[in-house]
Amino acid sequence: MPAYVPYNHATGMTRDQFLSLFEWHHNKFYSFTADDHFTNLSPLPIKEHRRQTKIDAKVIAKSKRIRAWNAKNPKIEAMLQEQEHLGKAARHVRRLQSRGFDKTRRRRIDGTVVKR
């Protein structure tokens, strides 16, 4: 839940006072990308940033455990490196196509299926 600063309070603050109410949150985890570009940052109120960081820390810890496990398995590590080398095209998986509904039959309100 974002905490907004009321206009009357904001007008009475200096720039530094106003900015001290917020912390910068990385949209893509810094531990993955090491990206401090302004497009990867968004300001969050301090309480909201702490809450979000707590959630993100769990995700980052799990991903580190998975990467450590994958590093122990040479087959998986080789596969991941190959996918990184090939890019998104290698990871694209075609979805199963549905056969659709039988057009010669219909379902009545009571649930029975009859021919059209």
* Structural domain contains residue 21: yes
Assigned token pair, 31: 């531990």
* Structural domain contains residue 2: no
Report DSSP letters for 46-108, one per residue: HHHHHHHHHHHHHHHHHHHHHHHHHHH-HHHHHHHHHHHHH-HHHH--PPPPP----TTEEE-
Give pLDDT, residue 22: 84
Q: Are 10 and 18 in contact (CB under 8 A)?
A: yes
> Does residue 1 have a pLDDT over 70?
no
Among 8-22, 47-61, 75-89, the range of highest mean pLDDT: 47-61
* Structural domain contains residue 97: yes
pTM: 0.50
> Does residue 64 have a pLDDT over 70?
yes
Give pLDDT, residue 24: 85
d(CA 25, CA 62): 20
* Structural domain contains residue 51: yes
* Structural domain contains residue 1: no
Please, what is the average pLDDT of the chain? 79
23: nearest Cα among 55, 48, 46, 5? 46
Q: How confident is the model at residue 91 (pLDDT cuts 50, 70, 90)?
A: low
* Structural domain contains residue 49: yes
Domain that holds residue 74: 7-115
